[in-house]
Amino acid sequence: MLIQAHTPVYAVIGDPVAHSLSPIMHNRALAARGLPGVYVGFHVTDLPAAIAGIRALGVRGVSVTLPHKVVVIPLLDEIDETARAIGAVNTIVNDAGVLKGTNTDGAGALKALATVTDVTGRRTAILGAGGAARAVARALSKAGAKVALFNRTAARAAALARQLDLEWAPLTNLAQWGPEILINATPVGMMPDTAALPVNADVLDPTMVVMDIVYSPLETPLLAAARLRGCTTVDGAHMLVFQGAAQFERWTGVAAPVAVMRQAVIEALSPASGPSS
């Protein structure tokens, strides 16, 4: 690709950011659609300066990752209702110098689940009480799922449930609640601790749909245990790709090549490509 002075620039900002698969995924998507543009990673420790740079340099679109998703909000010009309700921004659209924040994590999770099931009316247990759990819980609740939050620290689950008007329970009550869909929205099972399970495998039932938002490793301990018990599983790469596809479409106005983006992520996560997270 010929990069020129007028080539649109897209980026991911975070601390750290070297591990991000977003440049691989989005550059492949831009090429597949024949669009000019380059997507890069910026290691950002001074967030206000970085946002000023995005504005001054005309960076077209930005993915926001940890630890900036919350603290970036007051630095932007507009925050949409989704991001405001979640309390975090993962996407910035630069609209002629006006920086608009949104969040595509919940939509990404919903589309990932839609590849195997309809969530409407389904009893859905979400493990965790952090930002990812908030985004996923809100999206599924709005889509008609019957959502309950479960967390090792019950007080955190209770606080988030009150904010979102959802059910909650201690993690020990998970089996008793009887979920049809189980979503791990915690980092348990992520590299390098690939032996950890967020719940006891005994709670897994063959009729369940089990999804993990962790994507490295691609088959987490939870998904491996669920597969062995006959559950339908959804890996974290699905959510990564679908939230990225939503970003791509906001930035370019062009339908995202979802299959191409997933293939890029799968290739990057394969053992032959080296370590990723």
From the candidates 69, 100, 111, 146, which is the catalytic residue? 69
146 is catalytic: no
C-alpha distances in Å from residue 195, one per residue of 70, 185, 199, 251 = 30, 17, 12, 38
Nearest-CA neighbor of 106 among 74, 79, 72, 83?
Answer: 83
Secondary structure in 3-state letters for 43-95: ECCCHHHHHHHHHHHCCCEEEECCCCCCCCHHHCCEECHHHHHHCCCCEEEEE
Q: How far apart are CA 100 and CA 69, in angstroms?
A: 13
Residues marked as catalytic:
69
